[in-house]
Structure 1
Amino acid sequence: MIFSETGIKGSYVADLKKIEDSRGFFGRAFCTTEFSELGITSDIKQANLSYTSKKGTIRGMHFQKHPYEEMKAIRCIRGSIFDVVLDLRPESETFKRWFGIKLSAENYKMLIIPEGCAHGFQTLENDIEVFYLVSKEFSPSHDAGVRFDDPAFQIHWPLKVSEISDKDKSFKDFPL
């Protein structure tokens, strides 16, 4: 894999290092050694799949509270999304900053979300699927989030929002 820093401490974009021939290509999609060398948690506890039918839908911004902070490694495997990492770690030099990138089935990019950061995405077309690896099992009692349009962060979503869950709309303003 080829890792690039995002500007959010501990967050990376991983591109496939393709080995190509007449049949197509091969590339490593995940490697504990490569993750560990960068200080990224590589202890995977869950693999999740998300399907969204409608373009412009936002899912997020989600995170889990202590002690269930989780690393996520996100890939869009059908269609395309605008994927966002938001730093919620008060001790971080990138606290309250965000980074967004287009992930698609065509570009094979993966966004790595470190522990203590929120994650969300907006669908850029209909019928998308997102696959992600997670370092902790989901804990409903530690589930949390911040609002996608919270003025404390000023995330610039590329499309008008077509759908968002009541839960995701109900998150309170982040304390300034």
Structure 2
Amino acid sequence: MENLFDFTVDKATKTVTIVKEFAAELPLVWDAYTKQEILDQWWAPKPWASKTKVMNFEEGGRRFYAMVSPEGLEHWALQKYTSITPKTNFKLYNSFADQDENPQLPGSEWDLNFSEQNANTKVLITIYNESLERMEQMIEMGFKEGFTMTLKSLEELLATLSQK
């Protein structure tokens, strides 16, 4: 059975909403989003890879990482954690950046909510963009397709990790 997946774009509110259900228990899904060693295994659409330079998962902390193409091209991003409620929610401010960690504004606010039911975990992600232009640029760059592939990678990784 296919797990729930929904991707909605609302230009009026400059918001993208993603709902994804995983056949895995909540602590494992939470760790996949919050631990660098697991995050780097799935946080990029194949054949790209995620490479974290700095990750400090705490309020006021940050993650500075690159999505790296098979040819070695790096696209850097900076995430600043603004709020963390363990195992249920965390919020971050996301912006593209250069390799020296200088953010390219405007950015977006991510609100990630986790809930578990019958050993399945639902992740509800709301992404508010500071500008409509940025949101449209993100969508034109293939965000939906890329993020869909990325979540598929997470689904496959969780299946492997759940068996251990």
Whether these two folds match at TM > 0.5 is no
Q: Whose helix proportion is higher, 1 or 2?
A: 2
TM-score between both structures, scaled by the size of structure 2: 0.28
The one of the two structures with greater contact order (alpha-carbon pairs below 8 A, sep at least 6) is 1
Q: Answer 1 or 2: which has greater strand percent.
A: 2
TM-score by length of 1: 0.27
